[in-house]
Amino acid sequence: DAGITQSPRHKVTETGTPVTLRCHQTENHRYMYWYRQDPGHGLRLIHYSYGVKDTDKGEVSDGYSVSRSKTEDFLLTLESATSSQTSVYFCAISPSTDTQYFGPGTRLTVL
Amino acid sequence: GENVEQHPSTLSVQEGDSAVIKCTYSDSASNYFPWYKQELGKRPQLIIDIRSNVGEKKDQRIAVTLNKTAKHFSLHITETQPEDSAVYFCAASKDMRFGAGTRLTVKP
């Protein structure tokens, strides 16, 4: 597996609380992505980054924000978590705009 | 934006048979089409990909074909084995859209 880690791996939180998920890579890849995975929907892109401090929205960005202050770290923040954000979140990295390598995932439960 | 449809959603085959999964896409700007395999509780892993300047690509028992005119591409797995059982996802590069997945079960 590519040098990509996610933390935490599991989290249970309550509605209305802020949550930050971290993606860390050791591959020095330019592109980083956040996806959510829900049954029947495959993987849906939330936000992506094409460089330090360069980010853009994906298909399902509402309720999420991201930041990338260093090449190796890409943070996903849920400002006020809702039950509809219960999901498995995957980070992915890529040296270009095609082949992506996924992290191990974070299972988030919002009660 | 891009829209990717994947069929079938579930597929069950006998060991040794072939399996075919099909995807269609809508945006002709897509030029890269990967396939990922995801085992239960694991991360998606790239198994094969194809670019729009190629019609077919093979890697041992798996192959992918692309028809740009019809905007569809397919994954072919021959001589299936129980360890091929997993969920398979296709994707198209424009907007990085994924299909909803196909759960493949290979019966011994």
Query: Min CA distance, B38 vs chain A (Å)?
Result: 11
- Pair of tokens at residue A36: 């959510």
Query: Min CA distance, B49 vs chain A (Å)?
Result: 8
pLDDT tens digit sequence for B14-28? 999 999 999 999 999
Residue A103 contacts B, CB cutoff 8 Å: yes
Output the DSSP codes for B8-43.
-SEEEEETTS-EEEEEEE--TT--EEEEEEE-TTS-
Q: Is the pLDDT of residue A1 over 80?
A: no
Residue A105 contacts B, CB cutoff 8 Å: yes
Best interface-test mutation with B: which of A5, A98, A107 has the largest number of B CBs within 10 A?
A98
A42 vs B78, residue with greater confidence = B78
Best interface-test mutation with A: which of B40, B43, B97 has the largest number of A CBs within 10 A?
B43
CA-CA distances (angstroms) from residue A66 to A20, A91, B6?
9, 12, 29
Contact B46 A99 (CB under 8 A): yes
pLDDT attached to residue A50: 95
Of A38-42, A99-103, B15-19, which gets the smallest average pLDDT? Answer: A38-42
From the list A81, A95, A60, the residue with the least C-alpha distance to A12 is A81
- Do residues B45 and B88 lie in contact, with contact meaning Cβ atoms separated by under 8 Å? no
Q: Is the pLDDT of residue A40 over 90?
A: no
pLDDT tens digit sequence for B43-59? 999 999 999 888 999 99
Query: Min CA distance, A19 vs chain B (Å)?
Result: 22
Select from A43, A48, A97 the Cβ nearest to the Cβ of B44.
A43
pLDDT attached to residue B95: 83
- Do residues B85 and B104 lie in contact, with contact meaning Cβ atoms separated by under 8 Å? yes
Chain B CB contacts of A90 below 8 Å: 43-44
Chain B CB contacts of A35 below 8 Å: 98
